[in-house]
Structure 1
Amino acid sequence: MSQPPLNQPSDSYSSYYPPTTSVTDQLDGATDPADLTRPLYGASFITAVKRLFKNYVKFTGRASRSEYWWAQLAYLLAVAIPLAIVIAGAVSNVQWVASQPKPEYSFDPNTGHQFLVNNPVVLENAPGLGMLQLGFALVGLVGLVFFLPMLGAGVRRLHDANFSGLLFLLALIPGLGGLVLLVLLILPSNPEGRRYDPDYVARY
């Protein structure tokens, strides 16, 4: 690049060395948490969860890493209590079965086989059965509440890294597919991902 003449005013350097644009500016993120048309970089936990459900079934646009991974944490916290209930119910049932009298068997000399005479263990009477049913029901409910929002957030996170949202289908491939998808979801934001914004053509 040619240097400016030495006799030029100092402000003439701006024509030779134009100010660089920061990566944040290039990403064109939202400056207001209420703006759902842009990804919000550096979102807090509460803000990310609010934006997750406000964008309930939105598969266009972008989502920042903070938005996506805070939402993942919210799902894990929401499902933790139902899973704890399931575990508690299972442990209670195992302890109850272990405390019951052993089943009684008899031997038939004609056939050479054993057969059950009395089985005092009736699982329908297990004290933890209700906890198991409640826990599994709550796990299913949490899954239904989070499924579509998390699916949309995953697609938008891929867009933010400048990948097609169709790559989320990698999750259907056992083992390696999920690992590759995880890596893609971790990758940093790419300014080129702006092409997935609904109003990209109008703005650029």
Structure 2
Amino acid sequence: MEWMLLPLRRYARFSGRARPKEYWMFILFLLLCFIAVGIVEGLLGLSTTEHWVRRGPWSFSTGYHTRGGPLTGLFGLAILIPWLAVAVRRLHDTDRSGFWLLIIFFPLIGSLVLLVFFIMSGTRGPNRFGPDPVEVGEPELVGRIGK
């Protein structure tokens, strides 16, 4: 749980490096939170559900699409800066500038490139963005959260 909340403690810290464990545990935390917020919105009737039907000369399909409500939007805004910060630090760990996040605006290709960067292990030893978080060690790293 400590690793899931670490990026929230480093709220707007864009300098330094983030090891893969810090990034992916935060992503798991966000996924679980978005699911919980979606369930709450559904129970409160705040989300909207659309029913669609497609008809064609040789096909017929139907489905449902649920859009998030105001709680999803507020939660998304609240975690935007911590997500951006940990994503930039994760890119720093692979010796890349945070400007690589802008590639996400290229549909599909940009997201795939970022996914590969986030999965890659970081550079060993210090790089231009700081010391290797793996070499610093977990207890020492957690002890420096507020600094």
TM-score interval, normalised by the smaller of the two chains = 0.5 to 0.7
Cα contact 1:82–1:136 (8 A) shared by 2: no
Structure 1 unaligned blocks of 5 or more: 1-45, 96-131, 199-204
Task: Note the C-alpha offset of 1:167.
Answer: 0.6
Q: Which residue of 1 aligns with 2:122?
A: 189
Specify the code of the residue in structure 2 equivalent to 1:173.
F
Runs of 4+ in 1 over 3 A off after TM superposition: 85-95
Q: Which residue of 2 aligns with 1:54?
A: 9
Task: Note the C-alpha offset of 1:50.
Answer: 2.9
Q: Does 1:179 align with 2:112?
A: yes
Task: Note the C-alpha offset of 1:194.
Answer: 2.9
Structure 2 unaligned blocks of 5 or more: 52-65, 132-147
Rg: which structure is higher?
Answer: 1
CA distance in 1, matches of 2:22, 2:49: 40
Q: Deviations over 1:147-195 (max 9, x none)?
A: 1001000000011111111111111111101110110011001125532
Picking from 91, 96, 102, the partner of 1:163 is 96
CA distance in 2, matches of 1:184, 1:157: 8
TM-score norm. by structure 1 comes to 0.50
Cα contact 2:94–2:122 (8 A) shared by 1: yes
Q: Choose between structure 1 and 2 for higher RCO, CA contacts under 8 A separated by at least 6 residues.
A: 2
Task: Note the C-alpha offset of 1:54.
Answer: 1.4
Cα contact 2:4–2:28 (8 A) shared by 1: no
Cα contact 1:62–1:193 (8 A) shared by 2: no
CA distance in 2, matches of 1:160, 1:59: 12
Q: Which residue of 1 aligns with 2:27?
A: 72
Cα contact 2:41–2:71 (8 A) shared by 1: no
- The CA RMSD measured in Å over matched residues stands at 2.9
In the alignment of these two chains, the number of paired residues is: 116
TM-score norm. by structure 2 comes to 0.68
**For the structure 1 residues 159 and 136, does the alpha-carbon distance in structure 2 shift closer, same or farther, using more than 3 Å as the test?**
same
Identity %, equivalent residues:
34
Cα contact 2:16–2:129 (8 A) shared by 1: yes
**For the structure 1 residues 58 and 87, does the alpha-carbon distance in structure 2 shift closer, same or farther, using more than 3 Å as the test?**
same
Cα contact 1:53–1:149 (8 A) shared by 2: yes
